[in-house]
Structure 1
């Protein structure tokens, strides 16, 4: 890699992140050919099953309008997250907010 003159010398010595090569990403690998990635790399040597990919693609095609910006105030998403974590959307006295007075 060519050093970038505007970076400090110690930063120019960093090596970019790479993963273990599995050959052709689209070719099916046999179990004996799989090189396992480290779990802390948030990667998996296994692809999603084709059936699941098709289901996800169908959902994307039906539910997402890619020619529009997402909502600025996604209320339905907020409610779904609140339901998932079993919380309410309105702050309670026990839940401080940036506008809460200092208790001291």
Structure 2
């Protein structure tokens, strides 16, 4: 680059005509909405973007969901009082 071109660029930077990163956006600008309704309409538009139909739920096998085991707790479990005792009972020292 020639000296004149460099001087021109520096003057334009100094005057605010251009930015160092060539960005034309003013980061201090905030979005203005004249009413709450305008903002809600924009949010709804954003939500509509990319909404694709979801896959249907899988049908569960009802007999497989029924519990057929023992529902009574052993006396050893019934005697546990604190969260630490429950944790120690179900999780060994290996953890």
TM class by shorter chain equals under 0.3
Question: Structure 1-normalised TM-score?
Answer: 0.24
Structure (1 or 2) with the larger CA radius of gyration:
2
Question: Structure 2-normalised TM-score?
Answer: 0.26
Greater helix proportion: 2
